Chains A and B, each alone.
Chain A
Amino acid sequence: MIEKILRRLILVIVTIFVILILPFHSLVRWFKRKSRDNAPIVSDQSKKGFITRYIDDFWLGNSGRAQNNRVFVFFLLPSLGAFLLFVIYPFVHGLFLSLTNWTGLNTGNESFIGFENYRIIFSDVRFIFSFAQTILYSLMNILAINVVAFLLALLVTQKLRLENIYRAGFFMPNLIGGLVLGYIWQFVFNRALVSLGGVFANSWLASGSTALFGLIVVVTWQYAGYIMMIYIAAIQNIPLDLVEASKIDGATAIQRLKLITLPMIAQAFTVAMFLTLVTSFKQFDTVMSLTQGGPATTLPTWIGAFYGLADMPVVQSTNLIAINIYQEAFSRYQMGVGQAKAIVFFGFLLVVSLLQVYYNKRREIEL
């Protein structure tokens, strides 16, 4: 069993390698073919190990399969090149930079300092606070957006008059850019809502304990319409015969929702949850314009206690992780530390989103 997995792994690595050298190999082959007209390349199968045999059979040999595969690779090359250049290379370079003392200006002179940047960020209570705050924000935000979006989707699929106008209306906030939205809602919270009194008497954006909720209100208002569209599409795809059959059997509206609608749109949940999860964690523009990371608050005692602090330092309550990384890199000119934070954030987000997709997928039904 282990040997089999190991072999698979080796073959995957070999495949990547072969794909990379294939253009050169083909070039060489083409020149050879020109000089020695079509001398067949005969190979003795029996004497070789599994790797060489695999390369020969699948990639470089004369078999039909190998020739086909080579053609596929050539079709793949343009996009593969772009992917390597714009995703893989920057990522690997970023990994390297996170291990250096790069400040943005000592480019070329940066020195390798091992895991020092990672030690710095994990001993920084402000970063830990940002991380905790981002997780809290994301959980509440995912919940709020999905609940609102799903309810809106149910509402506008009820054969209402003017339902298209409602749909367009709910979708509209998504067309306003996050920055503009932040400034508009800053006015709403600081000037308009305060005049209503009650829970709004003190601007939500002025206090560290409420600013996060203010942010959630704004982002939900903006993003729920978009997620609603996904739910609408899924709800419209539910086969009508299922619904009719359940009606004939006497199912109530709630039973239909629970036993037919929810399972049938599980796929939409996977997509919607993934989108909201990723955008919540990466929230930047709206925060920047709505609160600039503030207002200030004192560090929650549980984080302080974990680090053995007697006096709680002052932190910024909506300093979400994307803002924190930006400030580290561009306000304090600590590019290396900022890069290390970004890598930690990437790893965390990767694990969380993979888990989310895995668990959501298990709930999906194939008809």
Chain B
Amino acid sequence: MKKLLVLLFSLVIALSVTACKPEEKTLVIFQNKVEIDTVLRDYATAWGAKNNVKVEVKTCGGDTCAYGTQILAEFQANKQPDIFVIEGMGGYNIYKDKILDLTGEPWVSNTDLEFMVSGKVYGFPVAVEGWGMAYNKELLVAAGVDIDALKVVSQAEYAAVFEQVKNYFAANNMPNHAVVSMAAASGMHWVTGLHNFNGYLSAGLAYNDSNVITKLNNGEVDAARLAQLADWAELLFKYADKSILTTGTYDDQVGKFAKGEAAFLHQGNWTDSSYKDSKFTMGYLPHATMAENNDSIFIGAPSYYVINKDTNMSAEAKLFLSDLAATNEGHDYMVNKANMVPAFNSVTLKPKTPLSAAVMEWNQAGKAYAWWQNDMPADFGMGTLGPIYELFAKGEITKAQFITNVTAAIDAVK
């Protein structure tokens, strides 16, 4: 009995001694881009060594890990990260009680894409991304299309170009070639329900004009814009590769374009990693969501780093973010290591990948339509609009039914 007591006693002492050791500070970053996990980890370790902070990078994203679900679980389990990621207004509304006000941070003056709510800055733009109609220059030139004439484009012009390319394929016995590579099946609802539908929310409007998205969130429909969107979707579906459109996966869709078998691709610059073996020149042209005068591609910051209000590491977290935007190491990491397009004017490095360079070019020319798709109610784009697009793509509903269904879906928002 006495021996046991002695043992217990020494155990207690040992434990309390370990507990009294000076605690090492750990900055926890919980982010959602699987593809930059390793490079971010390397950058963070180097930064941490320099600033005497231990940085832990946790990643959850892609097909195998649902970031939204996982971050919720981390918060519920009280394992709160210091820096985490939100995607626009939807994420802000969920986490607004947890997000630190970043107004006045040094990087804010170097960007137009910071995340703001009623005049206060909350989010650090992780990167700029953009999408439009990616084109294969060689195919278009061979088909006799004047690309520069399409920089300000109408639906009628696209209809003519699509027909011209289609005839070129037919005349030259290229049956494997598709005019447009686009996917609308389950699993690809983000291409239609979010990216294509964003045209309805922002095309032809000033970058900060939130009038249409505000109306949508109040359950009001802009019938004229919706009719033009439906025309555009119909045009795309008509010239899209049928099998990819109705059953294709991301790899099928992007692969078609990467192999040089599609003249146009309905995707963003994140597809750059698929073009290592592609031997053609590519660039972006605007979507013709509106009938006339489409002159910009959709550019925005898909996600923002935000700082947890309840952390005791807020000084370190702020420093981490401002160093990312201000130091050469930060720029090198963003542009060269992570292949991202930085949102900051202070960055002079140019992306090496073709579509990212194209996005940067459109952005510098000031030709950008905003991203409002993430400000729609949770799951509205992918869960509600995606299936409607899918049926329209398969020809199971008409254009009129497409419009009625989208109208009814928006009506139900309120």
* Interface residues in chain A, defined as those with a beta carbon under 8 Å from any beta carbon in chain B: 103-105, 107, 190, 203, 205-208, 291-298, 311, 313-316, 327, 330-333
Given contacts A293-B186, A294-B185, A330-B72, 10 further A-B contacts (CB under 8 A): A291-B186, A294-B387, A294-B390, A295-B185, A295-B186, A295-B390, A296-B391, A313-B405, A330-B69, A331-B379
| Residue tally, chain B, CB below 8 Å to A | 33
Q: Would you call A311 and B185 a contact (CB within 8 A)?
A: no
| 16 A-B contact pairs sorted by A residue (CB < 8 Å) | A203-B246, A294-B387, A295-B185, A295-B394, A296-B388, A311-B401, A311-B404, A313-B405, A313-B409, A327-B383, A330-B69, A330-B72, A331-B382, A331-B383, A333-B94, A333-B378
Chain B hits for A206, CB < 8 A: 185, 246-247, 394
Interface residues of B in 374-414 (CB under 8 A from A): 377-379, 382-383, 386-388, 390-391, 394, 396-397, 401, 404-405, 408-409
Instruction: Give the residue of A104, A105, A205, A297 whose beta carbon is less than 8 angstroms from that of B247.
Output: A205
CA distance A207 to B377 in the complex (A): 27
Chain A hits for B396, CB < 8 A: 208, 297-298
Instruction: Give the residue of B75, B97, B387 whose beta carbon is less than 8 angstroms from that of A296.
Output: B387
Chain A hits for B397, CB < 8 A: 298, 314
Chain A hits for B246, CB < 8 A: 203, 206
Closest CB-CB distance, A252 to chain B, in whole Å? 49
B180-198 contact mask (Cβ, 8 Å, vs A): 1 or 0: 0000011101000000000
CA distance A315 to B384 in the complex (A): 8
Q: Is B49 an interface residue (CB 8 A)?
A: no
Chain A hits for B186, CB < 8 A: 291-296, 316
CA distance A292 to B95 in the complex (A): 27
Chain A hits for B72, CB < 8 A: 104-105, 330, 333
Instruction: Give the residue of A203, A332, A333 whose beta carbon is less than 8 angstroms from that of B383.
Output: A332
CA distance A207 to B396 in the complex (A): 9
Q: Is B208 an interface residue (CB 8 A)?
A: no
Closest CB-CB distance, A315 to chain B, in whole Å? 7
Q: Is B16 an interface residue (CB 8 A)?
A: no
Q: Would you call B394 and A331 a contact (CB within 8 A)?
A: no
Q: Is B106 an interface residue (CB 8 A)?
A: no
Q: Is B68 an interface residue (CB 8 A)?
A: yes
Closest to A107 in B: B76
Closest CB-CB distance, A192 to chain B, in whole Å? 12
Closest to B382 in A: A331
CA distance A134 to B17 in the complex (A): 58
Interface residues of B in 60-92 (CB under 8 A from A): 66, 68-69, 72, 75-76
Chain A hits for B185, CB < 8 A: 206, 294-295
CA distance A298 to B408 in the complex (A): 13
Q: Would you call B247 and A327 a contact (CB within 8 A)?
A: no
CA distance A203 to B66 in the complex (A): 28
CA distance A203 to B409 in the complex (A): 28
Closest to A211 in B: B186
Instruction: Give the residue of A292, A295, A311 whose beta carbon is less than 8 angstroms from that of B408.
Output: A311
Closest to A290 in B: B186
Chain A hits for B66, CB < 8 A: 330
Interface residues of B in 294-349 (CB under 8 A from A): none
Q: Would you call A311 and B405 a contact (CB within 8 A)?
A: yes
Q: Would you call B94 and A314 a contact (CB within 8 A)?
A: no
Q: Would you call B391 and A314 a contact (CB within 8 A)?
A: yes
Closest to B98 in A: A105
Closest to A311 in B: B404
Closest CB-CB distance, A303 to chain B, in whole Å? 15
Q: Would you call A296 and B76 a contact (CB within 8 A)?
A: no
A331 in contact with B404 given A107-B76, A296-B391 (CB within 8 Å): no
CA distance A107 to B97 in the complex (A): 12
CA distance A104 to B74 in the complex (A): 11
Interface residues of B in 248-301 (CB under 8 A from A): none
3 tightest Cβ-Cβ pairs between the two chains A and B? A294-B186, A296-B387, A296-B390
Interface residues of B in 157-186 (CB under 8 A from A): 185-186
Chain A hits for B408, CB < 8 A: 311, 313
Interface centre among B186, B189, B379, B382 (most CB of A within 10 A): B186
Chain B hits for A293, CB < 8 A: 186
Chain A hits for B97, CB < 8 A: 105
CA distance A291 to B390 in the complex (A): 13
Chain A hits for B247, CB < 8 A: 190, 203, 205-206
Chain A hits for B388, CB < 8 A: 296, 314
CA distance A296 to B409 in the complex (A): 15
Q: Would you call A327 and B379 a contact (CB within 8 A)?
A: yes
Closest CB-CB distance, B272 to chain A, in whole Å? 25
CA distance A327 to B247 in the complex (A): 22
Chain B hits for A331, CB < 8 A: 68, 378-379, 382-383
Chain B hits for A107, CB < 8 A: 76
Q: Would you call B390 and A105 a contact (CB within 8 A)?
A: no
Chain A hits for B391, CB < 8 A: 296-298, 314
Chain A hits for B382, CB < 8 A: 331
Closest CB-CB distance, A333 to chain B, in whole Å? 6
Interface centre among B247, B379, B394 (most CB of A within 10 A): B247
Q: Would you call B95 and A105 a contact (CB within 8 A)?
A: yes
CA distance A331 to B378 in the complex (A): 7
Q: Would you call A330 and B68 a contact (CB within 8 A)?
A: yes
A315 in contact with B387 given A332-B378, A332-B379 (CB within 8 Å): yes
Q: Would you call A207 and B394 a contact (CB within 8 A)?
A: yes
CA distance A68 to B127 in the complex (A): 71
B78-119 contact mask (Cβ, 8 Å, vs A): 1 or 0: 000000000000000011010000000000000000000000
Chain B hits for A291, CB < 8 A: 186
Q: Would you call A104 and B405 a contact (CB within 8 A)?
A: no
CA distance A207 to B94 in the complex (A): 35
Q: Would you call B69 and A316 a contact (CB within 8 A)?
A: no
Closest to B407 in A: A311
Chain B hits for A205, CB < 8 A: 247
CA distance A157 to B189 in the complex (A): 48
CA distance A315 to B186 in the complex (A): 12
A292 in contact with B187 given A330-B66, A330-B72 (CB within 8 Å): yes
CA distance A291 to B249 in the complex (A): 11
CA distance A103 to B90 in the complex (A): 13
Chain A hits for B409, CB < 8 A: 313
CA distance A184 to B377 in the complex (A): 33
CA distance A206 to B189 in the complex (A): 14
Closest to A292 in B: B186
CA distance A187 to B252 in the complex (A): 12
Chain A hits for B394, CB < 8 A: 206-207, 295
Chain B hits for A207, CB < 8 A: 394
CA distance A327 to B396 in the complex (A): 25
Chain B hits for A330, CB < 8 A: 66, 68-69, 72
CA distance A298 to B387 in the complex (A): 9
Interface centre among A203, A314, A327 (most CB of B within 10 A): A314
Closest CB-CB distance, A30 to chain B, in whole Å? 20
Closest CB-CB distance, B146 to chain A, in whole Å? 37
